[in-house]
Amino acid sequence: MAKEIKFSLVYRDMWQSSGKYVPRVDQLEEVAPAIIDMGCFDRVETNGGAFEQVNLLFGENPNVAVRRWTAPFHKAGIQTHMLERGLNALRMNPVPNDVRELMFKVKKKQGTDIARSFCGLNDHRNLKGSVIGAKKGGMISQVALSITHSPVHTIEYYMGIVDKVVEYGCDEICLKDMAGIGRPNVLGELVSSIKKKYPNIKVQYHGHTGPGFSTASMLEVARAGADYLDVAVEPLSWGKVHPDVITIREMLKSDGFLVKDINMDAYMEVRRLTQKFIDDFLGYWINPSNAKMTSLLVGCGLPGGMMGSMMADLKGFQGAINAAQRAHGRPEMSLDTLMVKLFEEVEYVWPRLGYPPLVTPFSQYVKNTALMNLFNMLSDKPRWSTIDKDTWGMILGNMGQLPGPLAPEIKELAKSKGLEFSTGNPQDNYPDEMPKFRQMMKEEGWDEGEDQEELFEFAMHERQYRDYKSGVAKERFNTELEDFRAKAGAPINVVRPVVEVPKFDVDGFIAQHPGAIPVQAPVKGQLLWEVDVVDDSKAPAAGCEAKAGQPLGFVQTYYGMEEIVPAADGLVLAVTGKQGEKVEKGEIVAFIKEKSDK
């Protein structure tokens, strides 16, 4: 009898691989019946990742959203799954173990069946807590291997992780090909190895389409014994997102697999509703470049969703770099030239930093280091002059063990700075905090909620939860949406450019201030020099001290608050970004001058 391949619709990831937000809960409830009527899905990815933070940024309760969104699928007998980041759980920084444990209990009660857990470093120690927590909470534990292509990421390497997580009790394995650069034959061999050693373990494949390998990869892993494939639907399939279910189904059917039929009327309804949500308001935050595939991602191995942000980074630095080029009598560089140089520098940096899989947040650390190397070298400064504190945390092992060895030059640099390497369990660095949050909720007069879900949300996303409770989050979102609609006219599917016309004369400023270092917005979002202040009266004054590794300000994003951290100690020369305004990733918001510069 032909082997059956089952499909999972990654509806949450479709949106968040394309833009900033996911649909509101009322929109999700509207599309759910059509997804069910398609008849081809055994699973739907409903939440996890940034889903909770997105709802908080809407000013809405994410716990309500999860319960209402998963309910129709349960009624239809379709499993739901979430994505969580191991040590970081549902946020971008490490989470205490007691908060992680409560997460699984809450999500199971809310209607999520499967916990897909990944560690950006593939450190099995970070995954152990997820496996134990998911099982203890009554969920199916699916461990995701962060797939990349390097000399150290071999079949033997990945099987070593599989052996550990199976020992911990996981039920399933996912191949999380987040950049889509896994080579099809290698992925097929990996699935075959897993199935041969652990025939009862279910295997699911998740591959982004950015560089174009994932369709071939799906065929290879299916032939090797995979059970589930993650797919998308138009208008958000392909590009840098995921393959469309229609193509994948037809490919597998032709190859002799048993696959479910698609109700095309329902498919077209899902397609129509998804486009309706884009036209309503979500399209304002969708970068049009995410609809395009690019083979440029094959060499550097960065996730496709980073292309737009990388170009924003380069656009932000271009003026400063070309000012330095002119000062040294060298020709200016185009964005395309800088992009190639940045890709080449990523390829240089990545192995020397121990081959961390290029997935959030480690892809950002590698790219940021490469960008600062490029800027420093073109400014006649040494490579590795600027490494931010988060990247040092990765290098030193505070977040887990790197897959490969560090280059001797990096070890020497750490030694020269008096930095110590960590060899202990990363979770031990983050002690339990639930009693603290329970007490704070009591002081605020807030209820812990059904199944302690409000307590969990507060402990996981304290800052965003406070903004939700105070109404600040809803005010910010409505202001941002009104601003878009006022500019574009609504409803209309118009998206904001990756980088706006510069508001500041970078060339002129650099010419007057040789050695000035740009301070960039680390992510796209709302600039907040001070949190909980709406007007633009607050900003660092010229001449005030800036410290490397310490926040100068913040950017409010869909998943939380990101720090704006200067690359070096110095003095603020100028602030180019106003409190409360929208900034793009890489946009220059200030300039500093190192104290050592004369």
Q: Has residue 430 been placed in a domain?
A: no
Q: Which of residues 244, 260, 290 is at a domain's end?
A: 290
Beta strands in 147-239 (DSSP E): 172-177, 202-207, 228-231
**347-377 pLDDT, tens per residue?**
899 999 999 988 878 888 898 899 889 888 8
Local confidence band at 507 (pLDDT 50, 70, 90 cut-offs):
low
Q: How many residues are recorded in the chain?
A: 598
Higher-confidence position of 287 and 95 = 95
Asked if pLDDT for residue 190 goes beyond 80, the answer is yes
Do 38 and 246 form a contact (C-beta atoms < 8 A)?
no
Asked if pLDDT for residue 193 goes beyond 80, the answer is yes
Q: Has residue 353 been placed in a domain?
A: no
Do 2 and 255 form a contact (C-beta atoms < 8 A)?
no
Q: Has residue 337 been placed in a domain?
A: no
Asked if pLDDT for residue 558 goes beyond 70, the answer is no
Asked if pLDDT for residue 596 goes beyond 80, the answer is no
Average pLDDT over residues 134-154: 96
Residue 155, both tokens: 């079949």
pLDDT score, position 403: 94
Q: Has residue 278 been placed in a domain?
A: yes
Do 355 and 402 form a contact (C-beta atoms < 8 A)?
yes
pLDDT score, position 306: 57
Do 344 and 359 form a contact (C-beta atoms < 8 A)?
no
pLDDT score, position 490: 47
Q: Has residue 516 been placed in a domain?
A: yes
Do 547 and 566 form a contact (C-beta atoms < 8 A)?
yes
**28-59 pLDDT, tens per residue?**
999 999 999 999 999 999 999 889 999 999 99
Q: Give Cβ neighbours of residue 535 (< 8 Å, ≥ 6 apart).
A: 579, 580
* CA nearest neighbour of 115 among 168, 151, 182, 163: 168
Q: Which of residues 230, 261, 290 is at a domain's end?
A: 290
Residue 585, both tokens: 């990733």
Average pLDDT over residues 310-333: 78
Total domains present in the chain: 2
Local confidence band at 302 (pLDDT 50, 70, 90 cut-offs):
low
CA separation, residue 407 to residues 88, 355, 395, 399 (Å): 27, 11, 11, 18
Looking up residue 577, the CATH number of its domain turns out to be 2.40.50.100
**214-272 pLDDT, tens per residue?**
999 999 999 999 999 999 999 999 999 999 999 999 999 999 999 999 999 999 999 99
pLDDT score, position 569: 79
Beta bridge partners of 45: 81
Q: Which of residues 248, 265, 290 is at a domain's end?
A: 290
The parent domain of residue 116 ranges over: 6-290
Q: Has residue 405 been placed in a domain?
A: no
Q: Has residue 330 been placed in a domain?
A: no
Burial state string for 187-199 with b = 16 or more CB within 10 A and e = fewer than 16: bbbbbbbbbeebe
Average pLDDT over residues 514-540: 71
pLDDT score, position 88: 93
pLDDT score, position 64: 97
pLDDT score, position 559: 53
Q: Has residue 154 been placed in a domain?
A: yes
The C-alpha atoms of residue 80 and residue 28 are separated, in whole angstroms, by 14
Mean pLDDT for all residues in the chain? 89
Weakest mean pLDDT among 358-372, 441-455, 546-560: 546-560
pLDDT score, position 550: 78
Looking up residue 117, the CATH number of its domain turns out to be 3.20.20.70
Weakest mean pLDDT among 55-69, 138-152, 303-317: 303-317
